[in-house]
Amino acid sequence: MSPLLLISRDDAFLTHWAGLSQFGWKISKGQEVLSDLLLQVGHQTQVLLDARVLPLPLDLTSLDLFKDSQVVVGSIQPNDVECQQALMAGAAGYVHAYMPVTGLAQVLQHVASGQIWLGQDMLSRLLAQFSQAKPETTQAWASGLTVRERDVARYVALGHGNASIAQALGISERTVRAHLTVVFEKLGISDRLQLALRVHGVQLDHQNLGVSA
Whether pLDDT at 38 is above 80: no
Half-sphere exposure of 146 (CA within 13 A, CB side): 7
Closest CA relative to residue 119, chosen from 147, 146, 96: 96
| Neighbour order of strands in the sheet with 4-7 | 27-30, 4-7, 46-50, 70-75, 93-96, 116-117, 211-212
Task: Enter the pTM of the model.
Answer: 0.65
What is the rounded CA–CA span in Å between residue 136 and residue 178?
24
Does 83 score more than 90 pLDDT? no
Q: Which run of H or E residues covers position 78? A: none
Number of helical (H) and strand (E) elements in the chain, helices listed first: 9, 7
The whole-chain average pLDDT of the chain stands at 78
CATH superfamily ID and name for 4-117: Response regulator (3.40.50.2300)
Query: What is the Cα–Cα distance from 65 to 7, expressed in whole angstroms?
Result: 13
d(CA 142, CA 52): 41
49 sits in which H/E element: strand 46-50
Q: Which of 14-23, 52-61, 100-109, 153-162 has the lowest mean pLDDT?
A: 52-61
| Widest distance between CA atoms in the chain | 56
Check: CB of residue 114 under 8 Å from CB of residue 194. Answer: no
What's the rounded Cα separation, in Å, for the pair 18 and 15?
Answer: 5
Per CATH, which fold does 122-212 belong to? Arc Repressor Mutant, subunit A (1.10.10)
For CATH 3.40.50.2300, the residue range(s) in the chain are 4-117
Given this model, what pLDDT does residue 71 score? 85
Lowest mean pLDDT among 22-26, 112-116, 187-191, 199-203: 199-203
The residues of the chain that CATH labels 1.10.10.10 are: 122-212
* Region 27-47 average pLDDT: 66
Half-sphere exposure of 184 (CA within 13 A, CB side): 15
